[in-house]
Amino acid sequence: MMRAFYTIDGTIIAESSGGVRTDYMHDALGSVIGTVDATGTVTNTYRWKPYGSLLSATGPNQSPTFGWLGGLGYRATGRSHADYYVRARSYSAGDATWLSRDTQWPQEPLYRYSLSSPLTLLDLTGLWAELPVPGTVNPRGDPGTGVGCQNGQTACDEYIYQIPGEILAAVKQKLDKCLGLSEPEAIFKCVGEVFKLKELTGDAAKKLSDHLWKYLRCYYSSTS
């Protein structure tokens, strides 16, 4: 039976199997980049691609149970079609996508991993990409600081910039009016009216929803 050892904040730091303990070395993301035995000898090393595929490895254990984001609980399944199990869903590193629909849709993309920002956002549950990696610019950022932004922009504005240009142009006048309001309830009500504009087809409305609601949630969760 394998036992796992955790820090107080939930990071997996070691495992014990058959009476033999193995300690993990992590990178800034929480991926296991090496293992150490009881004598302090490095027994395995790993390098990972941004979306979780193994780039290179040394040592006898070429397929660790806890590897890419292993410190956060991402567990390798040993199956070729579903590389990792992440609590709510399974994830394919080769395809860089979740293998089942996100139950939080349309607030979250159906299958896209961490808003296509695997080096700056983490998804601890398989449902939300929320946790910023220390020392990086978080696309969900803090509007109060605008870290990584210029000319008074905020990190949350990244969601607006990701809206396809032709869609944004069709709704810009109405959307600018909505975002210029001061009360959250009024903004959300106004944005709801945007989706009724005749310029928005079904596909365009979905794309707009994907980014716009994230912007609003990002902004108000950071200022509340």
Q: Tell me the per-residue pLDDT of 28-54, one tens digit each, with 9 for 90 and over.
A: 888 999 999 988 899 999 999 999 999
Reported as type and span, the H/E element at residue 154 is none
Q: Where are the domains of the chain?
A: 2-131, 155-223
pLDDT of residue 153: 41
Q: pTM here? A: 0.59
Token digits of residue 64: 């660790």
- Position 67 scores a pLDDT of 94
CA–CA dist 180, 159 (Å, integer) = 17
| Residue 143 C-beta-side C-alpha neighbours within 13 Å | 14
Please write the tens of the pLDDT for every residue from 102-125.
888 877 788 989 888 888 778 888
Gap between the terminal Cα atoms of the chain = 45
